[in-house]
Every structure is written in structure tokens, then in C-alpha cells.
Structure 1
Amino acid sequence: MADDFSAIFERLKRAARDLSDIVETTSYGTPALKAGKKLLTRVKDAETAVVMCPLDEKEMLLQAAPDIYFETDHYKGWPALLVRMNAVSDDELRHRLQRTWLTQAPKAKARAWLAERDKSSNR
């Protein structure tokens, strides 16, 4: 792993630490995290991460927070969002990866995770 990617990858791993079945791997030659076999996020370059995202949510985020989220022509029409890592807060990054994980993880695991989270927040 290139040194300039390590800081971004460490942030991605911290943001995903509460999610189950996270696999550290590579995608397109860069460090990546998967939920089982499905891609959650990967490092694109020293300043950018790619996060999988449903298209309708992607469009909303591109309009609501263009300082954080963007796309290039390569990603138009694909359920993937580019994230400016120097602009995204740790809380927002964690939230985004949780939302992505819920769409990528097996449904039973997602339901169990949500139930546990709800139980913890009601304490």
C-alpha cells in the first residue's frame, strides 16, 4: 500500500470499525473495504475515497454537499460517490459507511445490526 494512501485507509477503517464482516482488500490496485464480497469503499487517490451509494441518494448528496461529495464522468450513472477526505468529518464518514454497509450487507445481518444499535441507543 502506498504511504500516501495509508492515512485515508486508516480513516476508512476507523469509520467502519463498528460494522460486521468487514474485509480489508484491494480494488483497482488501491486499499478497499468490503462487506463480505461487496465493495463498501476504496481509496481512489491521496485525497479521495470512493463510497458505494444508491443512485437516488447519490444525487441528493451531490446537491446537498458538493464541497464533500462529487463525481467525475467515469462515475456518472454508477452507484459510487467520490468523497473529498479533507472535507468530510469523521461523523459524516462513519454515517456514510454505515448507510452503505446497510445496502451491501446480507439483509439478516443488517437487521440484526440495526436492532442492536436501536437497543444500545435506548439505554
Structure 2
Amino acid sequence: MTWDDVTAWAQAELPETEVATWYRTPALKVAGKGYARLRTEAEGGLVLFVGLDEKAALLASGDPAFFTTPHYDGHGSILVHLDRVDPQQLRELLTESWRAKAPARLST
């Protein structure tokens, strides 16, 4: 998966998704709220919002697609290596992250 793949899928499948910037980096937003951000930090990765239990499960799975940094400790977000993630799993996580930020009128 690439950032272009992510944006194309999100714009086609997740209502009112806009490609924007967030913290001066490429991002996806819904109703002005960021739900995915492409990091430019040394470790790279795509930031997505997930519950703390899901974050723990993804990290415990040993799947090399998922990681975190100390900056995200205690926060419900996971970092994803786009070149290592299963596309279907990424779509599910993108949808979950979108739902966390989308207005109720969109996420029902």
C-alpha cells in the first residue's frame, strides 16, 4: 500500500473524506477532523486512531506492520508501515479511525 492507495480508497469509500495537511504533513480529514496522518518523522508510518485495547492487541500480534513510539504511549493511536500492512486490515483500521472522528450523521 502507498499513500496514494490510501487516499484513493478513503475518498471512494469514506464519506466526506478530504485530503489535507495536519501538523504540516499529508493527512485525511472528515468534517475538519484528522483521522489519518502520514508521518515524516524518521520512523515514518501512518497514524490511525484505535482503541487502547485494539492497539495493545495489534502490537502484541507481532505483525511487523504495526508499531508505536514513546510519543504515542497511553494514546489510542497506532502507527502502520504501509509497505507491510495487509490491505484489507488497513481498510478496516482506516474505517474505524474515520468513525472515531466523523459526525454521527455520517457514521450511522
Please report the TM-score for the alignment, with normalisation by the length of structure 2: 0.84
2:2 pairs with one of 3, 8, 15: 8
Q: How many residues align?
A: 105
**Secondary structure of residue in 2 paired with 1:87:** coil
Aligned position for 1:70: 67
Question: What are structure 2's unaligned runs of at least 5 residues?
Answer: none
Quick one: which amino acid aligns to residue 68 of structure 1? A
Partner of 2:24: 29
Look at both structures and tell me which one has the larger radius of gyration over its CA atoms. 1
Aligned structure 1 segments of 4 or more residues deviating by more than 2 angstroms = none
SS of equivalent to 2:13: coil
Q: How far apart in 1 are the matches of 2:62 and 2:90?
A: 13
User: SS where residue 11 of structure 1 aligns?
Assistant: helix
Alignment of 1:1-123 (within 5 A): 8-16=2-10, 17-45=12-40, 47-111=44-108
Tell me if structure 1 keeps the 8 A contact 2:45–2:81.
yes
Percent of aligned pairs sharing the same letter: 31
Q: Which runs of 5+ in 1 are unaligned?
A: 1-6, 112-123
Is the Cα–Cα contact under 8 Å of residues 49 and 96 in structure 2 kept in the other structure? no
Deviates more, 1:20-29 or 1:37-46: 37-46
- What letter is aligned with 1:54? G
Inter-partner Cα distance in structure 2 for 1:57 and 1:107: 22
Greater relative contact order (Cα < 8 A, sep 6+) = 2
Deviation at 1:18, TM superposition (A): 0.4
How well do the aligned residues superpose, as a CA RMSD in angstroms? 1.9
Deviation of 1:30 (Å): 0.9
Provide the C-alpha distance between the structure 1 equivalents of 2:89 and 2:8, rounded to a whole number of angstroms: 12
Do the aligned residues in 1 keep the contact of 2:49 with 2:100 (CA within 8 Å)? no
Distance in 1 (CA, whole Å) between partners of 2:30 and 2:100 is: 10
- Secondary structure of the corresponding residue to residue 25 of structure 1: strand
Name the one with the larger helix percent. 1
